């Protein structure tokens, strides 16, 4: 947990010191990739709470999902078909499922602590 907080703080400091802007033409690809990354982060939190976390699975899912989602958006853009909807529905749905599971796990653990 300590290393995660250090990583978050380091990322915030770097983000504030080195602000990065991108062309608005890429906003669709970046937003879908960010959604995919958030899905991986929430999946990693859920796996950690279930004591099933594996770093290699997390890293490969984090980058793999982001690249796949951005690629789907790009191909769909080139074909004139909104394929990014597939990524939005898939990753968005999983994001909410993972959040619900995280909430249940935390509430269950807190309830167990209060009983015992």
Instruction: Work out the burial of residue 23: count CB atoms within 10 Å of its CB; fewer than 13 is exposed, 13-18 middle, 19 or more buried.
Output: exposed
pLDDT value for 34: 87
pLDDT value for 116: 62
pTM across the whole model: 0.78
What CA–CA distance (Å, rounded) separates 98 from 76?
27
116 residues of the chain, pLDDT tens digit each: 677 788 889 988 988 888 778 788 888 888 888 899 899 999 999 999 999 999 999 999 999 988 888 888 889 889 998 888 888 898 899 999 999 999 999 999 888 888 76
pLDDT value for 97: 95
pLDDT value for 98: 94
Backbone angles phi, psi at 31, to 5 degrees: -65, -40
At 46 the three-state DSSP class reads: helix
């Amino acid at each position: 947990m300590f290393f995660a907080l250090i990583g978050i703080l380091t990322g915030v400091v770097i983000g504030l010191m080195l602000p990065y802007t991108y062309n608005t033409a890429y906003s669709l690809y970046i937003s879908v990739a960010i959604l995919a990354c958030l899905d991986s982060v929430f999946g990693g939190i859920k796996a950690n709470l279930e004591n099933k976390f594996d770093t290699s699975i997390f890293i490969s899912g984090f980058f793999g999902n982001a690249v796949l989602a951005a690629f789907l958006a790009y191909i769909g853009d080139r074909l004139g078909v909104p394929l990014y909807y597939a990524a939005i529905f898939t990753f968005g749905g999983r994001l909410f499922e993972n959040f619900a599971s995280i909430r249940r796990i935390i509430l269950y653990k807190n309830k167990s602590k209060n009983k015992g």
